[in-house]
Homo-oligomer: A and B are copies of this chain.
Amino acid sequence: MNSTQSKALGRLKKVASEADKSPMREMYKRLESGADILSLAFGEANFAPPAELLQAAEKALRGDKNLYTSTAGIPPIRRAIAGFAKKWWKADVDPDANILMTVGGMEAIFLAAQVVVEKGDKVLLPDPGWGVMRTVMQRQGAVVDFYPLVEQDSYIIDPEAIIDRMDEKTKLVVVNTPSNPTGAVLSQEGFAALLEAAAKRGIFILSDEVYHNYVYDGSHVSGLSFDALDNLIFINSFSKTFAVTGWRLGYAVAHPQIIRQMSIVKESISLCSFSIGQWALADFLPISETYLVNAQKLCHDNMLKMVAWLQAIPGVECTPPSGGFYVFPDLSRIEPSCQKLFMLALDGGVAIVPGDFFGSQGQGRVRLGFATDYESMSKALDRLEAVLA
């Protein structure tokens, strides 16, 4: 088996090798081999999920909720989401028409790209920004262009930098607020201006708000609060919010036409989303406020400590993020090559994500996550400090 190159294998399609660069594979390989590695690399909350959520999941597990759901998702979770959107973002969302449950925020993004983006369409992405977004859009045949996130006292999303790049070919703009990896957020005025400019030109805004609970500077401004579903596709996830990334549960909120199209595509990819998680979150969402507030506070405290720690290391420049799970310090004065930084850190027993995974502006930077307990974070920072010394 796995022997010579067969005739069939010779005919195998070449999948774009862009994604082959993902640094996470080497990290997982070492972690799974049992190597002593502390991680600042994961894109998730490394604290405990809400106890009530786990209880609700057990109840569903024991209560015959292990079978298929409809592709859209069970009505109770869609109603709970509509309630959540009303409470937190003053948004009016119709649970029957505007919501599709997905396999994490990731599938929601993939499905949105499938129904919106056609070959040759221009898609605007943030730089720095989450690397996988580019892969998804390029697989759809999009022409990808980047708008810069600007580092001032913190990174910010400048709507003018986006609007300036809109042209007739532009079909979709991806906004990630708060941003991975920079923590940049879009302001109330900025979001309004962006939506108006996009509507005028017939451009969709895909607003990826999976870090919505983690804003350190004012409160989260959601695209949903603008009553603009005619050209807004809102992406969210429970994974980051409630520390259950392994459940693979997220959702999209969009115009009924878009939701319907996304559902049709989903039927031949994942069919439906994780049943237990839907039932558990339908119970838990309405009582989630305490957890959300505490998780935000934990991350805010950790962020301040991590920034202070990094700023004290000679050669490191680090601004405090306005939101999200990460800092994105500039280490170029120590070592300009991201890949070298990544391997140095891994060999020093700490996993980080190299900045160039997030685009050209990530050169000489690394992404470090602080959504964990302070003790784990500080142990890992000790190691990183030793590596950088």
A residues lining the B interface (CB < 8 Å): 1-4, 6-13, 15, 17, 19-20, 22, 24-25, 28, 32, 42-44, 46, 48-49, 54, 57-58, 61-62, 64-71, 74-75, 92, 94, 97-98, 103-104, 106-107, 110, 114-118, 132, 135-136, 139, 171, 198-204, 227, 229-231, 243-248, 255-258, 261, 264-265, 267-276
Pick the 9 closest A-B CB pairs, nearest first.
Answer: A246-B275, A6-B230, A7-B202, A8-B231, A28-B70, A66-B244, A68-B245, A135-B268, A103-B270
- A258/B12 contact (C-beta < 8 A), A44-B67, A106-B269 known: yes
Q: Which of B19, B32, B198 contacts A267 (CB 8 A)?
A: B19
Give the residue name and chain of the B residue nearest to A200 (CB). Answer: B7
A136 to chain B: closest CB distance in Å? 5
| Complex contacts, A264 vs chain B, CB 8 Å | 15, 17, 19-20
Docked-complex contact A1 and B92, CB < 8 angstroms = yes
Complex CA–CA separation, A280 to B57 (angstroms): 14
Q: Which of B46, B136, B246 contacts A65 (CB 8 A)?
A: B246
Give the residue name and chain of the B residue nearest to A117 (CB). Answer: B13
A159 to chain B: closest CB distance in Å? 17
Give the residue name and chain of the B residue nearest to A93 (CB). Answer: B1
Give the residue name and chain of the B residue nearest to A270 (CB). Answer: B103
| Complex contacts, A28 vs chain B, CB 8 Å | 70-71
Q: Which of B61, B135, B270, B274 contacts A106 (CB 8 A)?
A: B270
Complex CA–CA separation, A229 to B72 (angstroms): 36
A-B contact pairs, 20 of them (CB 8 A): A1-B230, A2-B229, A9-B230, A12-B116, A12-B261, A13-B261, A15-B114, A19-B267, A46-B67, A48-B64, A61-B61, A66-B245, A66-B247, A67-B246, A104-B270, A106-B269, A110-B269, A135-B268, A247-B274, A247-B276
